[in-house]
């Protein structure tokens, strides 16, 4: 009887030890669970989607993600300061101009070996281009964008313009505008980014790193700038006298049905659809920016993506995270909830994406979009480009003299070893 009692006590002690060990092991596992930090620059609505996706990611992988909100306009300063101090995040959401800049400074992890040929083929070329610098891949694209022409279908119908008669060339766009009453055809911005489709459409360019040439002042670029000014100043164009507020003014005029066309990107659709002219979303049309007279075509590509910091605490976990955030699943979620364009071609075939008419309408524009040269100075070209475009449009300079000033400034400040092509 005593032997039995002692055996029971012994078994109880063993069980207690086992349970205690399990508790300790479980606590240790929690203590050593992988956690990475992610600096997020998305807006409030997009961040809701991000947090939902992070929950899915953690559930699937066991990797915890600590999200830190960083104001978009402070991302470069904060990331640069933190990286220089060796305290950067594991993953950072980067704007396209950031990638080559940060990569050249040694702030990013090289992910070239991780990106498969299948992935490279699936990403939209113009979107993926910005993550390739100096022969290496530094990140993955998410939510690319491009300028396009939005038009009011009801006003087009009122002007007698049939859907089959939409302009297919930039000169034809001027003719289409002329079919509307004065000041009601199109609202064009006084912004260098908005001018680029005309520069490229007429066969011009910005810079060519391969030949080390500055192209912004060549004959073709000047012709494109002249063509833009011609439409900007046309009788059918909505008067743009307030350059500092012309983005909002263009949106307001279009939303209220005061003007038939504007040039803008996919980020603006949610705002446009709040306007009285678009109570029926089907009234909003999307027109690919037409070709130039020589058959050239292009629209500047913007957007954001994900990069891994050089000092990441766990490269593999960070890689899994950015792979997940640019997967078809994540792309479909952002498309459905936030109207963000997918960066993968295959994502446009997913039901959640296909059901969004406006996103589908942007794919033809993305397919002919143009990535600017990927260089550390890429984000700085607009410092002199923008003010001189405004001088051209308000009559303080000709297209030729204004773009010559831009070219000279680029050579002096950004590309001293480049040749200016005239």
Locate the domains of the chain by residue range.
1-32, 34-138+302-367, 147-300+374-420
CATH code given to domain 147-300+374-420 = 3.40.190.10
pLDDT recorded at residue 20: 43
- What is the separation of C-alpha 37 from the centre of its chain, rounded to a whole number of angstroms? 22
pLDDT recorded at residue 64: 98
Name the band, by pLDDT with cuts 50, 70 and 90, for residue 33. confident
Q: How many CB atoms lie within 10 A of CB 290?
A: 18
- What is the separation of C-alpha 383 from the centre of its chain, rounded to a whole number of angstroms? 19
pLDDT at 4 over 50: no
pLDDT recorded at residue 187: 98
Distance CA 114, CA 308 (A): 12
pLDDT at 6 over 60: no
More confident residue, 164 or 33: 164
CATH code given to domain 34-138+302-367 = 3.40.190.10
pLDDT recorded at residue 352: 87
pLDDT at 19 over 80: no
pLDDT at 192 over 80: yes
pLDDT recorded at residue 34: 95
Distance CA 223, CA 386 (A): 17
**Over residues 143-172, mean pLDDT:** 97
pLDDT recorded at residue 32: 53
Can 34-138+302-367 and 147-300+374-420 be said to share one CATH topology? yes
pLDDT recorded at residue 295: 85
Over residues 377-395, the pLDDT tens digits come to 999 999 999 999 999 999 9
Name the band, by pLDDT with cuts 50, 70 and 90, for residue 13. very low
pLDDT at 14 over 70: no
**Over residues 225-240, mean pLDDT:** 98
Over residues 93-129, the pLDDT tens digits come to 999 999 999 999 999 999 999 999 999 999 999 999 9
**Over residues 296-317, mean pLDDT:** 96
pLDDT at 52 over 80: yes
């Amino acid at each position: 009887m005593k032997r039995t009692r002692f055996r029971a006590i012994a078994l109880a002690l063993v069980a207690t030890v086992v349970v205690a060990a399990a508790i300790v092991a479980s606590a240790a596992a929690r203590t050593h669970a992988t956690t990475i930090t992610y600096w997020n620059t998305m807006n409030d609505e997009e961040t809701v989607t991000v947090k939902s996706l992070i929950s899915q990611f953690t559930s699937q992988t066991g990797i915890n993600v600590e999200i830190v909100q960083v104001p978009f306009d402070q991302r470069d300063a904060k990331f640069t300061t933190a990286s220089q101090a060796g305290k950067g995040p594991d993953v950072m959401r980067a704007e396209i101009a950031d990638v080559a800049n940060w990569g050249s400074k040694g702030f990013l992890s090289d992910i070239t070996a991780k990106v498969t040929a299948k992935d490279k083929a699936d990403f939209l070329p113009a979107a993926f281009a910005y993550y390739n610098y100096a022969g290496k891949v530094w990140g993955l694209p998410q939510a690319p964008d491009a300028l396009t022409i939005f038009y009011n279908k009801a006003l087009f119908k009122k002007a007698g313009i049939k859907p089959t008669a939409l302009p297919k060339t930039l000169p034809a766009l001027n003719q289409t505008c002329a079919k509307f009453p004065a000041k009601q055809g199109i609202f064009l911005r006084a912004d260098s980014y908005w001018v680029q489709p005309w520069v490229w459409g007429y066969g011009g360019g910005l810079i060519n790193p391969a030949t080390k040439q500055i192209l912004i002042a060549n004959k073709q670029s000047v012709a494109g700038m002249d063509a833009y000014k011609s439409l900007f100043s046309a009788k059918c164009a909505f008067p743009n006298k307030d350059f500092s507020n012309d983005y909002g003014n263009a949106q307001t005029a279009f939303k209220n049905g005061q003007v038939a066309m504007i040039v803008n990107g996919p980020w603006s659709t949610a705002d446009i659809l709040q306007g009285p002219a678009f109570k029926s979303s089907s009234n909003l049309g999307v027109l690919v920016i037409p070709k130039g007279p020589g058959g050239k075509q292009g629209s500047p590509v913007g957007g954001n993506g994900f990069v891994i910091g050089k000092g990441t605490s766990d490269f593999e976990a960070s890689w899994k995270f950015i792979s997940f955030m640019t997967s078809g699943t994540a792309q479909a979620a952002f498309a459905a909830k936030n109207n963000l364009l997918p960066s993968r071609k295959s994502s446009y075939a997913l039901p959640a994406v296909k059901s969004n008419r406006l996103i589908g309408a942007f794919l033809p524009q993305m397919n002919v979009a143009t990535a600017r040269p990927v260089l550390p100075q890429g984000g700085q070209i607009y410092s002199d480009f923008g003010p001189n475009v405004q001088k051209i449009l308000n009559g303080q300079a000709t297209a030729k003299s204004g773009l010559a000033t831009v070219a000279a400034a680029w050579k002096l400040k950004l590309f001293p070893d480049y040749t200016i092509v005239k």
